[in-house]
Structure formats: structure tokens, C-alpha cells
Structure 1
Amino acid sequence: MAEESGERGRSAERTRERILEAAVAEFAAKGYSGARTAGIAARAGVNQQLISYYFGGKQGLLSELRRRWQETEASIAAPDATFEESVGGYLEATLDRPDWARLVVWQALGDCPFADAEEGERLSELQRAKMSAAVEAMRRRQRAGEISQDVDPEFALLVAHAVIFSPITMPQFVRDIFGDDPLSPAIRRRLRDQLIKLLGAAGD
């Protein structure tokens, strides 16, 4: 009996994961507004009612995906990582998960609504605090001689994000400029190396 119960639990967890993977792909392709639970269910190969059963609907899926992305971000780079290690970590984490990155872009464009005003304010405060901490980290790296003192730390952070996300936000530009697949290892190395050269303090 316990074995049957355990197998049912594992089966339910596998179903939940399939639904979440399908939701990421559907939201990435169509945005929250354009995505439909029927499309997510079809991608996952499950009955549409299971989305409501496990997640309460489309908004519940989005909230769970946001939570998981926050967990991923927290583990990308160690607190004592060098600037080069941090850039490489964020670049790999972003480009290894293009659908997740597209979901972040949709959210930045305002297409991914919050479940309620309280959740929206909480996540907005979290994002502001995260960006403030990232700017302060840039300042610490400047004081440590890792980043050029000639660059505003806020601008350095913006440039780093823009370059890291460029294969997702401007794939055709990246392909035309570099002549290669925007997600290829060669492009990743060039973006990482050039960011280090652009923002680094080696030439100071």
C-alpha cells in the first residue's frame, strides 16, 4: 500500500514537472497574455483540468515559475566569485535556459501580471533590492580593482545585463553581427571575454 502511494506521488510530481516545462515554453513563445492553458496542456500531454488541480490555473503556473527562477538566480554565482566567474555564470544560466530568459523579458515588458497587488509589490521590492545590491557589488569590485573606475557602476550593471540577454532579446542582430548561432559556445565565449575587457580594470 505504501509502495502504491509512493508511486502515485512520484507520478504526480512527474506530471507537475511536465506541466511546468510546457508552461515555460508556452509563455516564452506567446507571453502570458497569448498563452492558453489548452496549449500548455497539449504541450505537456495532459488533461487541461490538471493545470487547475495542481496550480490553480495559468496565474498559479506563472507564480511557481517565478519562484523557481528566483531560486536559480540565487545559486548562479557564489558570493566570493570573481567578476569573470559571475559574468560567465550569468551568461551560461541565461543562455542554457532560453525559454526561462524569454519569460524574464516578457515580465520586464509588463506582460506577466502578478496574482494580486501584494505579490506585485513584494516582488517589485525584491527586484529593487536585488538591483541595489548588484550595483553595490559593482562598486566593491571597482574598489577591489576588478572593474574600471571610469565606468559608472549602474551603467556597468546595465551593460552586463544587456549583453548577457542579447542572444535572447536580439538573436538576429547577434547572428548577423557575429555570423554564428547566438546560443553557440563560441558566441558565449566572445560575449564573456569582451564584457570583461570592456568593463575590467586591466587597462587602468
Structure 2
Amino acid sequence: MGKIRNAERTRKSILQAARGEFLEKGYAGTRIESIAQRAGVKKQLIYHYFSSKDQLIMETIEDLMSDAPPSGLVLPVNPAHIAEFRLDVNLKYLMDFLKFTAWEAIETFPSDLNGEERREKVLHSYNEDMRAKQEIGLVPKDLDPAFLTLMISSLTVYPLLFGNVTRMITGLTPDHPEFQEKWSHFLRLISERIFHDAKPNS
């Protein structure tokens, strides 16, 4: 049992080191040697647990996405609360994953390495949730559910990733409690204005 536990610890240590390297240097800039140095192991040991850098990036992304609990994917019934909810989930659980997506925006690598299938499934579930709310009268009929999802994604990701822009515009950094409180409140206000005309079907 001791050997198994040690092997699990070593594997987790390598994955943690890989996470740090990928987030700091991106996929292209990360080297197995730097992961080994960060983890405090020999390069050969990494290949004992992971067949390649591709496997490491795939498992790292899976690990990043798994930081959020299952409840983080269950959207509020009231559509006016969705943006506020998703901002909270991003701040509490998904900042490292969002940092990875920033690298993804400037690097090109095969979609089968970036967890696209799982991510697309989650995002499409948001579309379907918005569409279902539209069918029962909670979302205005003239608003495209997919574009609503895109809008909410933009508003709950961009200010967190582009911290310098957020600071220059608002005078506050994304990690400042005052910004988070005010932005959350703002998201609630504009969401209530977007959805206030919708009337639940009787």
C-alpha cells in the first residue's frame, strides 16, 4: 500500500508541476525537463507516469476543469441570477482554467488536446438551459440563447483575465473584493433589465 500511495503522490506532484509550467509558459513553451525540475524528479520518471507532453496537457486540463464542484454547473432557475452565479464559480474555482484559455487564444494546438469535447458539452448545456427557460417564458423570445450564453461568458471571464484593462477602467483589480462585489451587483442589475420583460407561462 505504501508503494501505491507514494506512486499516487509522485503522479500528483508531476501533474501539479505541469499545471504550473503550462500556465506560466503555455503548451508550446513548456518542456518536460522544466516540469521534472519543478516537481523535483528525473525526466525519465515523468515518462513512467505519462507517455508524452500531450498526455500531460490533456490530464492537466481535465484537472483544471474538475476544480469546480458539480454544483458549479447547475445554473440558477432565475436567468437574472446566472451571470452573477457564473462569476462566483469562476472566481472560486476556475481561475487557473481561465488562465489556460488565455494561452489557448494565442497558441494553436490540436483540439483533441484541450478538452474541447467536454467543454463544448458544458457550454451547449448552458445554451439548452437558456432555451428551456425561453420556452417557459423566463427569457425573451427575441433573444438567441446561444448569444446570451456567449454574452454571459464574456462578462464573467474577460474582466478576470484582462486584469490590467479592468484596473485601468475601474481603478480596481479583479482580485479586489470591492471590484468583485460591485461587478457582481452590476451583472445582477443588467441581467434583471434583460430578462424583466419575460413572463413565465401559466
* Same fold per superposition (TM over 0.5): yes
TM-score, normalising length from structure 2? 0.76
1:124/1:189 CA distance change after superposition, 3 Å: same
1:60 aligns with 2:55: yes
CA RMSD after TM alignment: 3.0
Q: Verify the 8 A CA contact 1:102 1:168 in the aligned structure 2.
A: no
Q: Offset at 1:95?
A: 2.9
Matched length: 194
Which secondary structure state, in structure 1, belongs to the residue aligned with residue 72 of structure 2?
Answer: coil
Q: Which residue of 1 aligns with 2:122?
A: 130
Q: For 2:163, give the aligned amino acid.
A: P
Alpha-carbon distance between aligned partners in 1 of 2:43 and 2:89, rounded to the nearest angstrom: 30
Alpha-carbon distance between aligned partners in 2 of 1:11 and 1:49, rounded to the nearest angstrom: 17
Q: Offset at 1:86?
A: 4.7
Q: Which residue of 1 aligns with 2:32?
A: 37
Please list every run of 5 or more consecutive structure 1 residues that lacks an aligned counterpart in the other structure.
1-5
Q: Which residue of 2 aligns with 1:3?
A: none
Which secondary structure state, in structure 2, belongs to the residue aligned with residue 111 of structure 1?
Answer: coil
Structure 1 window deviating more from structure 2 (138-147 vs 13-22): it is 138-147
Equivalent residues in 2 for 1:137-152 (5 A)?
137-143=129-135, 146-147=138-139, 151-152=143-144
Q: Offset at 1:147?
A: 4.6
Q: Which residue of 1 aligns with 2:200?
A: none
Please list every run of 5 or more consecutive structure 2 residues that lacks an aligned counterpart in the other structure.
198-202
TM-score, normalising length from structure 1? 0.76
Alpha-carbon distance between aligned partners in 2 of 1:35 and 1:169, rounded to the nearest angstrom: 21
Q: Which residue of 2 aligns with 1:107?
A: 104
Alpha-carbon distance between aligned partners in 2 of 1:153 and 1:186, rounded to the nearest angstrom: 31
Higher relative contact order (CA 8 A, sep 6+): 2
